[in-house]
Amino acid sequence: MRYSRDHKSTTRRRIVAAASAAFRERGVDGTAVDDVMRRAGLTHGGFYAHFGSKLELIAEACAEAFDAALENLERIARQTTPGRRARLLIDSYLSRHHRDHPGSGCVIVAVGADMARYNGSIRGGYAAGFERHLDRLCAALRLSADPGRNRDRVNHLMSSLVGALLFARAVEDPARSEALLRSARRTLREEFCQ
C-alpha cells in the first residue's frame, strides 16, 4: 500500500516527537529505537523508512525539544520588567511539575551530559540548537541593555537553573528535592528579580 507524502511527513513528526520525549525522560543512551517506535505506535521496521540512523533521529529530536520551549519564551518576553521575566523563568523551571515531567521539559538538563559524550555532527547539531536557544533566551529575558552583559547574566541564570533542577531530580527523598527547588528559587529570585 502506498502512502501519501503527507502521511510520511506526519509519521516522521510523530517519531521525532516520541523520541524527543523519550530522550528527555530516559536520556539518549537509555532509549532504544524500539522504545521510540513503540511510543509512536509504530513497528521497529518502519524506522528506516524515515531515518538513516539513530544519530539522525537524535539530532531532529533535540532540535524539536529546543523549539518546544518557544511558547514559554514568548510568555516570558511579554512580561514588562527584567525582574518579572526572570521570575517567570525561575518559577516555571524550578517547579515540581518540571522536575517530575522531564519528557516535556528542558532538553539541556535532560540530555546535555549525553551530548558531551558524542562527537561529530550529532554534537555539532546539538551545540547549534543550544546556541540558538541561548540567543532566544537572551532576547526573551532582556536582563541588561548591554548585549554582552545580558548574555553573561542569561548564561549564569541558565547554568544555575540547570544545576538546581539536576540536583532536585537526582535526590531520592521528595522533601529534600522540594527543599532544593525552594532554596534555588529563593536565591535566584534575590539575584535576578530585585
User: Rounded distance, CA 73 to CA 35, Å?
Assistant: 30
Q: With bands split at pLDDT 50, 70 and 90, how would you rate the model's confidence at 126?
A: confident
Q: With bands split at pLDDT 50, 70 and 90, how would you rate the model's confidence at 3?
A: low
Q: With bands split at pLDDT 50, 70 and 90, how would you rate the model's confidence at 4?
A: low
Shared domain for 88 and 184, answered yes or no, is yes
User: Rounded distance, CA 153 to CA 144, Å?
Assistant: 8
Q: SS3 of 7, please?
A: helix
State the total domains in the chain: 2
Residue 1 in this model has a pLDDT that exceeds 80:
no
| Mean pLDDT across 28-41 | 92
User: Rounded distance, CA 127 to CA 31, Å?
Assistant: 20
Domain boundary among 43, 60, 77: 60
128-185: pLDDT as tens digits:
899 999 999 999 999 999 999 999 999 999 999 999 999 999 999 999 999 999 999 9
- Mean pLDDT estimate for the chain: 92
Name the residue with higher pLDDT: 142 or 10: 142
- Which pLDDT does position 2 carry in this prediction? 60
User: Quick one: cell of 1?
Assistant: 500500500
42-65: pLDDT as tens digits:
888 888 888 888 988 998 898 889
Residue ranges making up the domain that contains 89: 69-192
Shared domain for 79 and 52, answered yes or no, is no
Shared domain for 153 and 90, answered yes or no, is yes
Write the secondary structure of 127-156 as one string of H (helix), E (strand) and C (coil): HHHHHHHHHHHHHHHCCCCCHHHHHHHHHH
Q: What percent of the chain has pLDDT over 70?
A: 97
User: Rounded distance, CA 93 to CA 70, Å?
Assistant: 14
Among the listed residues 117, 124, 155, the one whose alpha carbon sits nearest the alpha carbon of residue 62:
124
Shared domain for 113 and 164, answered yes or no, is yes
Q: With bands split at pLDDT 50, 70 and 90, how would you rate the model's confidence at 192?
A: very high
